[in-house]
Amino acid sequence: MTERTPLIAGNWKMNLDHLQSIALIQKLAWTLIEKSHDFKDVEVCVIPPFTALRSAQTLIDAEKFELSIGAQDISKHKAGAYTGEISGQMLSKLAVKYVVVGHSERRQYHGESDELVRDKVAACFASGLIPIICVGETQEQLESHGPSAIPVRQTLEALKGHESLKEFVVAYEPVWAIGTGQIASPEQADQVAAEVRSAILGEHGELAEQVRILYGGSVKAGNVASFMQGPNIDGVLVGGASLDSDEFAGISRYKKHIVL
């Protein structure tokens, strides 16, 4: 019997300076506390820009908020002459727990390949960080290959060649649904998650039962329940809606446990 605790993660992208981040975290945390949110029942993670990570860590530690912290990217390198890059060791020192890896915006705007995503997953493992491996298809890929072929391939490529697999999360984000107002149907999202889980099972065995698979793409408090009710969706990766503390708190308040 394997129980997977839902994960609600807010990716702030390139928004909010450190002062704005502090204000948002304070309001989010106190809203959830006032509503008696059980953070062990549903894990809530904030993923601010790099410039706000130290402020987020200091606030969360000082106030003893039970929020997790994530980072939006990681370098494949441990250290060295790599201007502008951020290493896993730097992130782990800031109490970062999760790292978004292979987001479609990184793949699109920075040309990140499956090989580079794999290297970044390895960097997470080496520093004791949990990668949130983003996978998803464009509209063109959806029409050419169907909804699951690209996410399955990207997932298996990210997991290939590691000496051993440590904890990781997969986030299915159909590229055509990110920030567009369009969403995959809950049935379609759960089916893709099921096929991703099945592929992990085929390559890596029972580990697949422990992997949390998130859905992302125009998620809001009004539609999160429809996605979370599927047996294979274990949480959501939220973009724009996570910048509104009330909206993000509403998303986080949806409870679900899955027992296999």
Candidates 37, 103, 105, 247; catalytic one = 103
Is 163 catalytic? The answer is: no
Q: Name residue 146's amino acid.
A: G
Nearest to 219 by CA among 4, 8, 43: 8
Contact present, 252 and 42 (Cβ < 8 Å): yes
Buried b (16+ CB within 10 A) or exposed e, 20-52: ebbebbeebbebbeeeebebeebbbbbbbbeeb
DSSP assignment letter at 110: S
Q: Name residue 123's amino acid.
A: A
Candidates 43, 137, 173, 195; catalytic one = 173
Q: Which residues make Cβ contacts (< 8 Å) with residue 202, sequence separation at least 6?
A: none
Contact present, 129 and 96 (Cβ < 8 Å): yes
Is 103 catalytic? The answer is: yes
Contact present, 117 and 65 (Cβ < 8 Å): no
- Residue 59 structure tokens: 């606030």
Measuring CA to CA, how many Å separate 12 from each of 89, 120, 121, 157, 195?
22, 20, 21, 26, 28
The string of DSSP codes covering 161-175 is T-SS----EEEE--G
Residue with tokens 């290297």: 119
Q: Which active-site residues does the annotation give?
A: 103, 173
